Structure 1
Amino acid sequence: MTDHFGVRAARFLGTRLQTGFRKGLAVSCAAAVALPLISSSALGPAPAFAQAGRKGLSLVRDAEIEGLLRDYATPIFRVANVMHSEPEIILVNDKSFNAFVPDSRRIFINIGVIMQAETPGEVIGVLAHETGHIEGRHLVRLRSAATNAQIMSVIGMILGAGAVAAGAASGSGTAASGGAAAAVGAGSVGQRTFLAYRRGEEVAADRAALRYLEATKQSARGMLATFDRMAGQEMFSARLVDPYAVSHPMARDRFRALETEARKSPYFDKPDDYILQYRHDMAKAKLLAFTSHPSAVTRRYPNSDKSLPAQYARAIAALQSRSRSAVGMIDALIRQHPNNPYFHEIKGQALIESGNPAAAVAPFRRALELRPHESQFKIWLGYALVASNNDAVLPEAERLLRQALQSDPNSSIGYSQLAIAHSRQGEVAEADLATARSLMVRGDFEAAKRYAARAQQKLNRGSPAWLQADDIVSYTPPQMERR
């Protein structure tokens, strides 16, 4: 019930913006394969880059990269007629090349897809393929349970299914029967993929992707480049071929099957849009800088490289290492492009990282002025206001955080900051409810139930807040259907 684009798993080093600023990118949803999964430590002080489920699958949030992926996917969703289901693209904190879908509303895509892709077309091809599974209604086993589930419940089911698939692939009945319990041992699951599609469904998704690219007047060259890379990996070493491939067409076969058809398109030689290429290069630089040691950033983007992506990566690396030069380097970027909201966002993060949240308010306000509907900017600004220790701004912080969470209800940090704002205003029941919702997003359902029950005791029975708490108290994570 999932789709596998990559054949290797690579260890992801860490995240930053939303996990206490020492690690980097933040939260979302996704669906596809189990990889070497790592747990992130408890989320620290800031709203932005990484969030992990209890079983170890770490997700990533970043407004800039999510916006780019939406722009890649929207034309595809439109021609595939899946806009009605409003598929959400969720970044997974893993550097391997992989993507997957658990239901008609979510596409999970590893950050490795962006980091390894040289062109936007390669990423667009992946999204088109996953959309083919959604349109083709290939999602059978987890669909009914996953559709309305909490993200972390879905992740738990994915990991459990991964354990079942791993056991089946290894021929171990014991491992297969272990289900979700085996998923806790992420190392064994991480070597394998999740659930297999039939070969016919994979071929159908590939051909659907070609149709979408043709309809949107885009080249399939990037999609072919992805299969060519995968085929090279398979030929390099048999150990790199995932057991999942036994029910997937091998990459070389898929490449050959698609190449002839793809070359018939009048758009095959059409180059990628240069603006999308620029944004792709900036996203790659950002991800590398947030997920690698500063020395790796310097090797990839030496000081002799004066390109904007190189400057961006070096500025983020300076932020990562808490260098005093970070704000100055970001200011240099802002002077070149004063209306780039993400440069102002990064400056705010650098100021919070340096222990000056009050100073971070202004750049976050500027970022929000430039993109007034961006929920993550509202969370950043709300965070800075709360951290500024000025009780006079707490009502504004609460308003911003509530607005953000209405459109982005999957932000654990947003709820935790809202809890602090309530608590400092003496609103104990509301603080407990916000804490419960933060824990729900993080997948800690038992702790969430305790806080929700405590909130209920102080809330008016039948009020909207009481009903929200009651939903949490009575929540039961859906179970994975046995194969």
Structure 2
Amino acid sequence: MTTERPAAASSGFLRRVSPAAPPRADARGAERSRASGRTARLIAAGLALLLAAEPVAPALAQQAVPGSIPLVRDAETETLLRDYAAPIFKAANVPSRGVEIILINEREYNAFVVDGTRMFMNVGVLIDAATPNEVIGVIAHETGHIAGSHMVRLREAMARAQTLAVIGAVLGAGAIAASAATRSRSGMDGGAAVFAGTAQVAQRSFLAYARTEEMSADRAAITYLEKTGQSGRGMLTTFKRFADQLLVKAASLDKYALTHPMPQERIAQLERLIETSKFADRKDPPELQARHDLMRAKLSAFTGNLRLIERLYPATDNGLPARYARAVLAYRFKNPADAIRQLDDLIKVQPNNPYFWELRGQVLLEWGKPREALAPLRKAVSLAPNAGPIRSLLGQALVATEDKALTDEAIRELQSAVDRDKLDSGSYRFLARAYAMKGDLPKADLMIAKGLFVAGDIQEARRYANRAQGNLKPGSPDWLRADDIVSYKPNTP
């Protein structure tokens, strides 16, 4: 993963946005030419806004989203996580299609849920976890929150805590006001104490509830692992890691001011539960471990320091993960020819690995060779037809050729990508470029509006949606889609 913008997928596209029609000699033609130029400039500006909203590195892309959470997109990692999660979701009676696992570009070992449909996981979890079972344990724990509707109840507990704090504030303010009227200093101090004390009670009440839910999610996770015939030792490893991190500052921690139980409590509970499991010593299947090792090498090489990765995966290590990591490093540090050579060697070993083909296509695309990138990317799509990020990358390469004969294929691939992921603002940007190349400027405006909308820039999204509506048939499907953005009103508390 990199924050650098690839040459073939960045501002170079914007410089090539051109008017939809050539200049005409007559006055009306001249006016149309000027209008067309203004339209092209507006589309270019919209594409620039999208580019600023989301720097794209296709195979492993970091996305800027509302709230400045740095999200990461990678088909290989996402597919592996879905495979990890599927049996857990089934055991928990959670619809697998209803929960999305979203990667965050943070090195800290952490994961969380915010509702019943989204599970967030830092890439640090995947890099630090030596086995699939460790990651599966994290997924099982977070699934326990989803299945138990903990976030709904946690919000209710928060509301109760806030109510208690408000009552305390009212009582405290009343005492302060009465004392002020009688000029009683002790009464004012007492009112302030009521205010502070009640707020502290409210906070600790809420945090105690949160700790209870965490322990409940731990127990649920062990149940799911048992149902799927998997060990709970991965969870145990995770919490021991937490314990080590907190060891140096344990003396200064107030256990009543934590949202999670102290690690020792969780470890003790997990050890009791694991001891009774007949699957306690079961290992991950070798093929799953092999996929996990490749994924870790890729993420480490995309996110880590060069010298650190070279120590982790030295030139003397001829294992597939180490070779994968070194190919990524060659790509990251501007040696595309060497990256292609190393990827070709990897493809000889695993010719049906779609992610080797995907990365080969990405390197060529960002090397300024989009036409050469098409063959490996088409191969990757044929091997992983449901991987939206790969289809998006193929669509980007097709657009980058600037061959109008390829725009229909580009639109199909990019539309397929956004059909699989409605929040993929990068694909919307390239869809807008493809429609502009076809001369369908209203559709280009609509795609820009959609991309800006999912990137969180509602004001600019409305601007382009309004423009699209003005040139679309009223009541048509595209007109209605534009109207959805124009009339959107964010929920307010």
The TM tier, using the shorter chain, reads 0.7 to 0.9
Match of residue 108 from structure 1: 120
* 1:454 pairs with 2:454: no
Match of residue 87 from structure 1: 99
Q: Is the 8 A contact 2:255 2:261 kept in 1?
A: no
Q: State the alpha-carbon separation in 1 of the partners of residues 247 and 81 from structure 2.
A: 30
Moved over 6 A (4+): 16-22, 141-144, 239-244
What are the Cα deviations for residues 428-481 of structure 1, in whole angstroms up to 9, with x where unaligned? 1100110111112211122111111111111111111111111111222334x5
* 1:222 pairs with 2:234: yes
Amino acid paired to 1:474: S
Unaligned runs of 5+ residues in structure 1 are: 1-12, 23-39, 145-160, 169-194
Q: State the alpha-carbon separation in 2 of the partners of residues 240 and 387 from structure 1.
A: 56
Q: Is the 8 A contact 1:46 1:380 kept in 2?
A: no
The structure having more radius of gyration, on CA atoms, is 2
Match of residue 233 from structure 1: 245
Amino acid paired to 1:458: N
SS in 2 for 1:247: coil
Q: State the alpha-carbon separation in 2 of the partners of residues 374 and 244 from structure 1.
A: 45
What are the Cα deviations for residues 161-194 of structure 1, in whole angstroms up to 9, with x where unaligned? 9xx99xx9xxxxxxxxxxxxxxxxxxxxxxxxxx
Amino acid paired to 1:115: I
Q: State the alpha-carbon separation in 2 of the partners of residues 274 and 359 from structure 1.
A: 35
Aligned with residue 272 of structure 2, among 260, 278, 295: 260
- Report the alpha carbon displacement of residue 199 of structure 1 after superposing the two structures with TM: 1.9
- Report the alpha carbon displacement of residue 311 of structure 1 after superposing the two structures with TM: 0.2
Aligned with residue 135 of structure 2, among 102, 106, 123: 123
Aligned with residue 323 of structure 2, among 311, 320, 339: 311
Match of residue 446 from structure 2: 433
Q: Is the 8 A contact 1:91 1:110 kept in 2?
A: yes
Q: Is the 8 A contact 2:449 2:465 kept in 1?
A: yes
Aligned residue pairs total 405
Aligned with residue 366 of structure 1, among 356, 379, 397: 379
Match of residue 292 from structure 1: 304
Q: Is the 8 A contact 1:102 1:143 kept in 2?
A: no
Residue 447 to residue 471, structure 1, CA distance change in 2 (3 Å) = same
- Report the alpha carbon displacement of residue 105 of structure 1 after superposing the two structures with TM: 0.8
Q: State the alpha-carbon separation in 1 of the partners of residues 399 and 4 from structure 2.
A: 20
Match of residue 397 from structure 1: 410
Q: Is the 8 A contact 2:8 2:365 kept in 1?
A: no
Amino acid paired to 1:87: V
Q: Is the 8 A contact 1:358 1:385 kept in 2?
A: yes
What are the Cα deviations for residues 53-106 of structure 1, in whole angstroms up to 9, with x where unaligned? 243211010000000000000000001001166211111111111111111111
1:26-175 map, 5 Å: 42-44=53-55, 47-48=58-59, 49-83=61-95, 86-140=98-152
Q: State the alpha-carbon separation in 2 of the partners of residues 84 and 292 from structure 1.
A: 31
Residue 245 to residue 80, structure 1, CA distance change in 2 (3 Å) = farther
- Report the alpha carbon displacement of residue 225 of structure 1 after superposing the two structures with TM: 0.5
Match of residue 34 from structure 1: none
- Report the alpha carbon displacement of residue 373 of structure 1 after superposing the two structures with TM: 2.4
Residue 45 to residue 218, structure 1, CA distance change in 2 (3 Å) = closer
SS in 2 for 1:401: helix
Amino acid paired to 2:136: I
Residue 78 to residue 420, structure 1, CA distance change in 2 (3 Å) = same
Amino acid paired to 2:316: S
Residue 82 to residue 314, structure 1, CA distance change in 2 (3 Å) = same
- Report the alpha carbon displacement of residue 143 of structure 1 after superposing the two structures with TM: 8.4
Residue 84 to residue 340, structure 1, CA distance change in 2 (3 Å) = closer
Match of residue 211 from structure 2: 199
Unaligned runs of 5+ residues in structure 2 are: 11-50, 166-205
Q: State the alpha-carbon separation in 2 of the partners of residues 45 and 59 from structure 1.
A: 11
CA RMSD of aligned residues (A): 2.7
Q: Is the 8 A contact 1:357 1:384 kept in 2?
A: yes
SS in 2 for 1:61: strand
Match of residue 419 from structure 2: 406
Residue 41 to residue 460, structure 1, CA distance change in 2 (3 Å) = closer
Q: State the alpha-carbon separation in 2 of the partners of residues 99 and 260 from structure 1.
A: 24
Q: State the alpha-carbon separation in 1 of the partners of residues 93 and 413 from structure 2.
A: 34
Residue 278 to residue 85, structure 1, CA distance change in 2 (3 Å) = closer
Q: Is the 8 A contact 2:294 2:324 kept in 1?
A: yes
Percent identity, aligned pairs only? 48
1:264-343 map, 5 Å: 264-323=276-335, 324-343=337-356
Q: State the alpha-carbon separation in 1 of the partners of residues 8 and 303 from structure 2.
A: 14
Amino acid paired to 1:111: V
Q: Is the 8 A contact 1:20 1:46 kept in 2?
A: no
What are the Cα deviations for residues 267-320 of structure 1, in whole angstroms up to 9, with x where unaligned? 001112211111111111111111123333212111001110000000000001
Residue 202 to residue 445, structure 1, CA distance change in 2 (3 Å) = same
Q: Is the 8 A contact 2:134 2:238 kept in 1?
A: yes
Match of residue 41 from structure 2: none
Residue 231 to residue 392, structure 1, CA distance change in 2 (3 Å) = same
Q: Is the 8 A contact 2:110 2:125 kept in 1?
A: yes
Amino acid paired to 1:43: E
Q: State the alpha-carbon separation in 1 of the partners of residues 452 and 256 from structure 2.
A: 33
Match of residue 192 from structure 2: none
* 1:380 pairs with 2:398: no
With the length of structure 1 as denominator, give the TM-score of the two structures. 0.79
Amino acid paired to 2:280: F
What are the Cα deviations for residues 26-73 of structure 1, in whole angstroms up to 9, with x where unaligned? xxxxxxxxxxxxxx9643465341101243211010000000000000
Residue 343 to residue 204, structure 1, CA distance change in 2 (3 Å) = same
Select the structure that is richer in helix.
Answer: 2
Match of residue 464 from structure 1: 477
Q: Is the 8 A contact 2:211 2:258 kept in 1?
A: no
Amino acid paired to 1:62: D
Q: Is the 8 A contact 2:133 2:284 kept in 1?
A: yes
Q: State the alpha-carbon separation in 1 of the partners of residues 487 and 290 from structure 2.
A: 47
Q: Is the 8 A contact 1:19 1:47 kept in 2?
A: no
Match of residue 189 from structure 1: none
